[in-house]
Amino acid sequence: MNIAYVATEDGDIAPKARGSSGFMSRTGVLLYGVLSYGVGMSSLFWMILSLAGLVPMGLAGVQVSNVLLASALNIALLVAFGVQHSVMARPWFKARMTRWLPEAAERSTFVLSSGLVLWNAIAFWQPLPGIVWQVEAAWAVWTLWGLFGLGWGYMLLATFAIDHFDLFGLRQVWLHWRERAYEPVQFKRRLMYRHSRHPIMLGVLVGIWATPVMSAAQLTLAVILTAYVVIGLVFEERDLIDNLGDAYRAYRKEVGAFTPWV
């Protein structure tokens, strides 16, 4: 996850990046960043639409008839996403990756890898028999769909409350193309970050659980992603403390992880 925070940036007076490469090389990195962004965001939006029942999962058309094997495959697909997401966000992995990859493309590579792993899960996702719950009352159905939209919308807005384009690698490749030095975003409380340390993850949790019809397959997804969020945030908090020190320790004491009280 490795969530960043809002920064002020003045591109007109930014120093020229050290070791700037040629125009064609910089353009290649920029196009790579744009492609990575497209892959990452398209997989995310496809998953959201599939949870809403608007587009199908299992695009590869491969179905396992045995329920236990199908469940195991779904779990493996989600675990692969969690492992990729967590390992590639670790500082030691980033340091090794930038030995052979342009530093400006590091974040885009993370976004691209996340998108490909998520697309793989979407392609090979297995339907499972059984409905865990199904809400019948109209007011409850509309309430849950409202929470569903609110959760995912809140998640998206939270990415802009920090720096959406830095979070998804576009700012890095753009500055590289302009031969401007990249400066990491600075810690700053803004909008929902005044009341929640991890609003992106809060939006995800609301989005995956708020549904009037919870199938067995969706329950698998909700449980595994919830476990990933809880475990992943432990490492995320450690990284933030290492990077921000006392400023983040004070922030933790004043603001809850998900809400002001939780």
The 10 Å CB-count burial string (b at 16+, else e) for 224-249 is bbeebbeebbeebeebbeeeeeeebe
H-run or E-run covering 213: strand 213-215
**Domain boundaries defined on the chain:** 20-254
pTM comes to 0.88
DSSP state for residue 184 in the 8-state scheme? P
Mean pLDDT of the chain: 90
Q: What is the mean pLDDT of residues 39-53?
A: 97
Q: Which of the four pLDDT bands, split at 50, 70 and 90, describes residue 155?
A: very high
What gap in Å lies between CA 29 and CA 171, rounded to an integer?
Answer: 12
Cα dist from 121 to 50, 74, 235, whole Å: 12, 8, 24
The pLDDT tens digits for 68-117 are 999 999 999 999 999 998 899 888 899 999 998 999 999 999 999 999 99
Residue 15 has a pLDDT of 43
Residue 19 has a pLDDT of 47
The pLDDT tens digits for 218-251 are 999 999 999 999 998 988 899 889 888 898 999 9
Q: Which of the four pLDDT bands, split at 50, 70 and 90, describes residue 186?
A: confident
What gap in Å lies between CA 108 and CA 32, rounded to an integer?
Answer: 8
Task: State whether residue 53 is helix, strand or coil.
Answer: coil
